[in-house]
A = this chain, B = another copy of it.
Amino acid sequence: MPASMLLTNVRPAGGPTTTVLVRDGRIAVVGKGAKADSVDVVDAGGALMLPGLVEAHTHLDKTLYGMAWYRNEVGPRLIDKIDNERAMKKKLGIDPARQSARQVVLSVGHGTTHIRTHVDVDTEVGLAGIEGVMRTRERYRNIIDIEIVAFPQSGLLVRPGTVELMEEALKMGAEVVGGLDPSGIDRDPKGHLDAIFGLAERHGRPLDIHLHEAGELGAFAVELTIERTKVLGMQGRVTLSHAFCLGMPDPVAVGALIDGLAEAGIHVMTTGPASRPAPPVKRLVEAGITVCSGNDGIRDTWGPYGNGDMLERAMFVGLRNNLRRDDELELALDVCTHGGARVMALADYGLEPGCRADFVLVDAETVAEAVAGRPPRKLVVKNGRIVARDGRAIVEAP
């Protein structure tokens, strides 16, 4: 199948109905001049065309999706969930290659064309997670792009040997250095941040730090992150994931953090969590900060929720941030598309001529309706080729 097609009767980003020519895996012409130049013609039936959805934060290696239902009886603390998960990986036989493949196929069906996944690296699982997800990445390389964050889920300094494993993961093919709650888990904010910034500097890699720490403790970690980002010239290459502390009630403190993040060019990832303080998305975007989103863990030992749908995630971001106006829902979608693309530094992303032909068609009148209604994806195109129809990927999961 050639990576070319002529899409007729389509509305890019909810604009007027037009014609789009895809040639050699790229959007070649939009509107006048888009002709059926010996390529397949696909009548979009008036569908809305959105850029490929960007899942900028998930954990492909440890979803239980497709396995027997896991009865969750885990304790309430963060460390309960981390310890339980390490034990369950063995007990349940969570195979990273198989499970990541299942989630990827699910995501493709929902129109996701790019994924940034955090993959556990620790002294028990070693690099098995990285290896498994790399096999999945290779297997599905023609239908989705996957970026891997080497993620010290069980702590970095508290588990000697983990830094070395992280180095190894980066050499194997992980692109991004991960970090996690420098005070809450490693009990040493300076030590943890110096270690991960050191890894990032030595290997010339971006950073993505899970920061669940709330209130002033989280704010302190944000300050330390801003300082290091500026000193090392890493502006535009550092992401804070979750950043619950940006949802703390002190508007003056939050304002200062937002200013600092904007100045240091640090990105923020939020899932739009309903039960936690959360970064105020509109304010961040207005301050010039790039905000992305992701589904986080899907049906895993941490929690039962999630289906891999980034349009549903845009809805969650909207609901959490009380976004009701159409322009606000368009912002929520932007977070789940262009925001993620900027965080992952994707080249040629979008619906303009010259961009990679990564896009999604849905039956919806407007972008706002697509977010609120989450209609099934009619067609998903990756690199100019159809990879999913009517909500289902054209490939099978293991």
Residues on A lying within 8 angstroms of B by beta carbon are 68-69, 71-74, 249, 272-276, 299, 302-307, 315-316, 318-322, 324-327, 329, 365-366, 368-369, 371-373
* A156: min CB distance to chain B, Å: 26
Inter-chain contact B372/A319, CB cutoff 8 Å: no
Inter-chain contact A274/B320, CB cutoff 8 Å: yes
Inter-chain contact A373/B307, CB cutoff 8 Å: yes
Contacts of A275 in B (CB 8 A): 319-322
Inter-chain contact B372/A274, CB cutoff 8 Å: no
A/B interface sample: 15 pairs, CB < 8 A: A69-B368, A71-B366, A71-B368, A73-B327, A249-B249, A273-B319, A274-B320, A275-B322, A299-B372, A304-B369, A304-B371, A304-B372, A305-B315, A305-B318, A305-B372
Contacts of A321 in B (CB 8 A): 275
With A319-B274, A319-B275, A372-B299 known as contacts, the answer to whether A69 contacts B365 (CB < 8 A) is: yes
Interchain CA distance A68-B74 in the complex, whole Å: 46
Interchain CA distance A299-B366 in the complex, whole Å: 13
Contacts of A316 in B (CB 8 A): 274, 319
Look across to chain B and name the residue whose beta carbon is closest to the beta carbon of A371: B304
Inter-chain contact B329/A304, CB cutoff 8 Å: yes
Number of copies: 2
Contacts of A273 in B (CB 8 A): 319
* A212: min CB distance to chain B, Å: 13
Inter-chain contact A73/B326, CB cutoff 8 Å: yes
Contacts of A276 in B (CB 8 A): 322
With A69-B368, A69-B369, A365-B69 known as contacts, the answer to whether A74 contacts B324 (CB < 8 A) is: yes
Contacts of A373 in B (CB 8 A): 307
Contacts of A304 in B (CB 8 A): 324, 326, 329, 368-369, 371-372
Interchain CA distance A316-B274 in the complex, whole Å: 8
Inter-chain contact B68/A365, CB cutoff 8 Å: yes
Contacts of A302 in B (CB 8 A): 324
Contacts of A320 in B (CB 8 A): 274-275
Interchain CA distance A246-B272 in the complex, whole Å: 22
Interchain CA distance A325-B322 in the complex, whole Å: 27
Interchain CA distance A274-B369 in the complex, whole Å: 19
* A9: min CB distance to chain B, Å: 18
* A297: min CB distance to chain B, Å: 11
Contacts of A68 in B (CB 8 A): 365
* A248: min CB distance to chain B, Å: 11
Inter-chain contact A326/B71, CB cutoff 8 Å: yes
Interchain CA distance A69-B372 in the complex, whole Å: 11
Which single member of B72, B327, B368, B372 contacts A324 (CB below 8 Å)?
Answer: B72
Interchain CA distance A72-B303 in the complex, whole Å: 34
Interchain CA distance A371-B72 in the complex, whole Å: 14
* A48: min CB distance to chain B, Å: 11
Q: Which of A72, A249, A307, A371 has the most CB of B within 10 A?
A: A72
Additional pairs, 9, CB under 8 Å, beyond known A274-B316, A305-B372: A69-B369, A249-B249, A273-B319, A274-B320, A275-B319, A275-B322, A304-B326, A305-B315, A306-B372
